[in-house]
Amino acid sequence: MLWNTIGHENLINHLEQVIAADKISHAYIFYGPEHVGKTTCALDLARAVNCTNQTTISCGECQQCLRIIKEVHADIHVLSPERSDNKTSIGISDIRDVLHSSNMKPYEGSYRVTIIDEAECMTEEASNALLKTLEEPPDQNLFFLITSQESKLLSTIKSRCQLLYFSNITKDIVREYLSSNYSLDPQKLELVTSLSRGRLGWAIRAMRDEAVLNSRAASLELFWELHRNGLDSGFNISENMASDYFKNPKSIFNTLEHWHTLFRDIMIVKHVDNIYVHNIDVYEQIEEMSKKYLINNLIDNISLILNASEQLKANVMPRLVLDNLVLKLHKN
């Protein structure tokens, strides 16, 4: 089979055996960190069960495979918050549209496949509607739920699915893939490899879209500004971030993630070894900051950022969350 999934050989071997034995489950939950290959694997699996080539599990050349690769296959449906009406959650109307289709026979393939990306973003109503279908799954229908927060899924949904965990892959695999597929100078190759933290999907996005690294640079500048200037400047930052949140929530979550990794790197430099630092291009600034922080303050700051992210996901008022975060970071 021509798998696009990289670095998860054990999972791939398991799925190949399941397909060969014709024991595919009607529902899977692919869980683990973001950007490590979960959605890619779901699409690979959708190809595998619909491939018409009799000599291999998924040829990548038949009409079924090609139409799935081109994202024009009538029986493959992908749901995500970004594709939903309100852009932040997957609601009952989104799920109903898909479930209505699941009552019909596949239009052009052997299986109708529904991929729910960021499944933890389903509303309670949407989750309950999906649960009813999973309890009595229609024939020739498969459901693949993708999540980086498996604990937020209903336990009743999890009990009706096969769970497969996707871990971060090694830096060596990321480095090898990038060097084989992109023309990079050694310095940028090492930087992107390090920043990826074993998330090949993130590394590929960083190569294809310069906005990924530009966004990181902007997040780092805000971080330095928080430390250079006073609380008034910090509140200006939180005000702007709160305003931007309503336009592009993901950009704010990305900023908080970058701040998280910076505090993590400061803690690493202070107490472990610099070989574990991710933000290698700003090592000097990180080393300097490590002299100004106590370890307990660094741990507190990491917790504050993680809590702020959770509060935003729980729809707490962004201005309140971000002002509170800036205030507490300033105190530390």
20 confidence band (pLDDT: 50, 70, 90): confident
Residue in the block written with tokens 């055996």: 17
| Residue 84 pLDDT > 70 | no
Q: Which tens digits make up the pLDDT trace of 115-127?
A: 999 999 999 999 9
Write the DSSP string, 233-244: HHHHHHHHHHHH
Quote the pLDDT of residue 61: 86
Quote the pLDDT of residue 273: 72
Q: What are phi and psi of 142, to 5 degrees?
A: -125, 145
Helix, strand, coil fractions of the chain, as percent rounded to 5: 60, 10, 30
Residue pair 75/113 in contact (Cβ under 8 Å)? The answer is: yes
Instruction: Please state the length of the chain.
Output: 332
Quote the pLDDT of residue 86: 55
The radius of gyration of the chain's CA atoms, rounded to the nearest angstrom, is 22
**Calpha distance 192→98 (Å, rounded):** 37
Q: Which residue has the higher pLDDT, 22 or 178?
A: 178
Residue pair 302/264 in contact (Cβ under 8 Å)? The answer is: yes
Quote the pLDDT of residue 56: 65
Q: Which tens digits make up the pLDDT trace of 255-314?
A: 999 999 999 999 999 888 778 899 999 999 999 999 999 999 999 999 999 999 999 988
Quote the pLDDT of residue 87: 64
**Calpha distance 32→34 (Å, rounded):** 7
| Residue 30 pLDDT > 80 | yes
| Residue 55 pLDDT > 70 | no
**Calpha distance 111→141 (Å, rounded):** 6
Compute the average pLDDT of residues 200-229: 95
Structural domains of the chain sorted by starting position, each given as residue range(s) with its CATH number in brackets: 9-165 (3.40.50.300), 209-331 (1.20.272)
315 confidence band (pLDDT: 50, 70, 90): confident
Distance of CA 109 to the CA centre of its chain: 28
Compute the average pLDDT of residues 71-75: 94
Quote the pLDDT of residue 53: 85
**Calpha distance 38→134 (Å, rounded):** 20
**Calpha distance 49→36 (Å, rounded):** 22
**Mean per-residue pLDDT over the chain, rounded:** 92
83 confidence band (pLDDT: 50, 70, 90): low
Residue pair 148/33 in contact (Cβ under 8 Å)? The answer is: yes
99 confidence band (pLDDT: 50, 70, 90): confident
Of 138, 113, 139, the closest CA to residue 51 belongs to: 113
Task: Enter the pTM of the model.
Answer: 0.89
Quote the pLDDT of residue 245: 94
Residue pair 91/126 in contact (Cβ under 8 Å)? The answer is: yes
Quote the pLDDT of residue 310: 92
The Cα-based distances of 175 to 104, 168, 172 in angstroms read: 44, 13, 5
